Amino acid sequence: MENLMIIGSNLANIYSLINFICDKIPNIRLNNIACTGIEAIEIIKRENIDIIILDLDLPDINGIEIINFISKNHIKKYISSIIVYTNQTKLIGKIIKNDNVFCYCSKINSIDYLVKKIEELIDKKKKEHTLDNIKNQITIELKKLNFNFSYIGTKYLSECIYECYFKKNKYNFNLSKDIYPIIAKKYNKKISLIGTDIFQAILMMFYDTDETILCNYFNSTINQKPKTKDVIIAILQNLY
């Protein structure tokens, strides 16, 4: 269920908007209404809002100042969470590239268009939430094996597992050809360095982790450092 906040000066129009949106989108609920910019900022500071519908035309401060407040204070939870709903299309150029603005809808368009954009934003947030959960689960599995997260190789290994998770056949991959190039491009590193750093991280894990933990995790006796591919497959098998 997504929490919705509507910021606008016309209360009657806001209620009409709420009724239409909630009727069309069952997995959304109204969290707050704000009729002034100052009131909106106070709510934004203390609440956890998933989606903000913002009219730029407010009685005290311009809606752009609300967007700028979020940006200046680096409130990351509102990244790509604002749908600007306004008639002041001349102002759109000032905020449309802002990281916190998902899109804008002119009031000239039908309200169905606004609903469509809200649904798109909900889908985007669901996908991001799923990806975050996978990353968190990978981190949990690495911690079970006492991987040291101060090593860059541990970070690269986590990225490799994440990339393998989404492959059609997640257990059939060539690290040097399929995975390392992706990580190398992302971090602007040589492919050979990715493999070397991961090797070092696994080596330190092997020396730092109790043999019983290793045997239980890999379901076999471990007499030497496990290969990178073996580590990735073992962790993939423990995800969900």
pLDDT tens, position by position, 108-118:
888 999 999 99
17, 4 in Cβ contact below 8 A?
no
Q: Which of 7, 10, 107, 26 is nearest to 67 (CA)?
A: 7
Per-residue pLDDT at 201 exceeds 70: yes
Helix 111-144 / helix 152-165 crossing angle, nearest 10 deg: 130
Pairwise CA distance, residues 6 & 50, whole Å: 11
Rounded mean pLDDT of the chain? 91
- 3.30.930.10, 3.40.50.2300, 3.30.750.24, 3.40.30.10: which CATH number matches 2-126? 3.40.50.2300
Tokens 């100042």 — which residue? 65
- Amino acid letter at 141? E
Using CA atoms, how far apart are residues 140 and 235, in angstroms rounded to an integer? 10
Secondary structure of residue 49 in the 3-state scheme: coil
Domain ranges of the chain: 2-126, 145-237
Distance separating alpha carbons of residues 18 and 128, to the nearest angstrom: 25
- Res 90 pLDDT > 80: no
The reply to whether domains 2-126 and 145-237 share a CATH topology is no
For 98-152, how does the pLDDT look when each residue is reduced to its tens digit (9 = 90+)? 999 999 998 888 899 999 999 999 999 988 888 899 999 999 999 999 999 999 9
pLDDT at residue 94 above 90?
no
CATH code reported for the domain at 145-237: 1.10.10.10
- The CB density around residue 159, as the number of other CB atoms within 10 Å, is 20
Q: What is the mean pLDDT of residues 216-233?
A: 87
Kindly tell me if the per-residue pLDDT of 43 is higher than 90. Answer: yes
Distance CA 18, CA 54 (A): 13
Whole-model pTM? 0.71
